[in-house]
A and B are shown apart, each in its own frame.
Chain A
Amino acid sequence: MGAQLRVYRRRMRSVKATKKITKAMELISASRIVKAQQRVAASTPYANELTRAVSAVATYSSTNHPLTTPSENPKRAAILIISADRGMAGAYSNNAVKEGEQLAALIRGRGLETTSYLVGRKAVNYYKFRKRPIAGSWSGFSDSPTYENAKEVADALIVAFLADAQTDVNGVDEIHIVFTEFQSMLTQNAMAKRMLPLEVIESDAPAPAGLLPMYEFEPSAETVLNSLLPRYIEARVFNAMLQSAASEHAARRRAMKSATDNAEDLIKSLTRLANAARQAEITQEISEIVGGADALASASAGSE
């Protein structure tokens, strides 16, 4: 076997091995998307009921709760970025981090400082590499977050929010969240949303009949808000994490699918090259034999 042919064969073997891995990862991700989607769907009733409740309470009670009242002189804003723990998912983590950068620039444009809370190793590494301060980071659960994970993150955010930003360096006046919305298997969007203070829609127009009735509060509107809002933030964070997890799997599946396709193309063109090299080798051998026989024949013809 010629040297050229051997090189082609070796490269084909290596590409084939890579293709097996990417194909396996594609199939694993594909099966996990379905599961992640089901978890998003399962958490939706809770999130919807909670949102309904919060808007009802916040709209129809006159209490000025710190969680609903925007600070008059905001000083600092927290940004929570949800990214992946592992790579191999195309631009998934990068998109979330970039969206976070844009949001941070926007907030700084309003004259506020920003602090970063990060979920997922990819975002943490991005910040560490650039030696940026990190106010809080969590990782190790990006592909299947539990409610406890979300609670941990939400608790840290609420503590920072309740601290006075004017005097405490850890205190923040606003909380924004950057996550990847799962629209469909094919479309996922990195997006930024403000979580706190709540954007309570106070319209002059009468509320649609029957939608948000006047509630009696048990024991009082104040107490209800106090215990309702942390749950609301937790549910928002949890929902964002679940959507991001589904998006991560979808992005990984797509990245691995194109890697598998590319490997296939590469194998095809390498096969062609290897075949051409083999044929060239054979042609050369034949012409060498013919040339050799020719030389022998003319040599013996000359001696007689």
Chain B
Amino acid sequence: MTLNVELVSPVQRVWSGEAEMVSARTIDGDLGILSGHAPLFGVLVDGQVKIKAVDGTTTEFVVNGGFLSVSKDRVSILTESVG
């Protein structure tokens, strides 16, 4: 089982594809998401979002605020701008 991840900003789709793990920083603290995570909706703070793709490569993005929603192995990260 893998996660179906989408990282989108208002002007473009930044990253989309299958991933093993996503980690991001919410208001409450760092959060790692693996397959099978419960439905979650979180507010992100400025910081890094790490996506570990199925091929083992890890991509890091710096986001300026945003949201993270998880449901049924589908992760969408909405951010206003990606650095």
Number of B interface residues, CB 8 Å?
27
Chain A 26-58 interface mask (CB, 8 Å, partner B; 1/0):
000000000000010011011101101100110
Is A39 touching B6 in the complex (CB atoms < 8 A)?
no
Is B62's beta carbon under 8 Å from chain A? no
Q: Contacting A224 at CB < 8 Å: which of B6, B41, B65?
A: B41
Docked pose: A176 CA to B9 CA in angstroms: 25
Known A228-B67, A231-B67, A231-B78: A215·B39 in contact at CB below 8 Å: yes
Q: How many residues of chain A are within 8 Å of chain B by beta carbon?
A: 30
| Chain A interface main SS type | helix
What's the least CB distance linking B62 to chain A, in Å?
A: 17
Q: In this assembly, does A300 line the interface, its C-beta being within 8 Å of a C-beta of chain B? A: no
A215 touches B71 (CB 8 A): yes
Decide if A213 touches B71 in the complex (CB within 8 Å): yes
List 18 A-B residue pairs with CB atoms under 8 Å apart, sorted by A's residue number.
A39-B11, A45-B13, A49-B78, A53-B67, A53-B69, A53-B78, A147-B80, A150-B10, A213-B71, A215-B39, A216-B39, A216-B40, A217-B41, A218-B68, A219-B26, A223-B27, A227-B67, A231-B80
Residues in A lying within 8 Å of B, measured CB to CB? 39, 42-43, 45-47, 49-50, 52-53, 56-57, 147, 150, 210, 213-219, 223-224, 227-228, 231, 234-235, 238
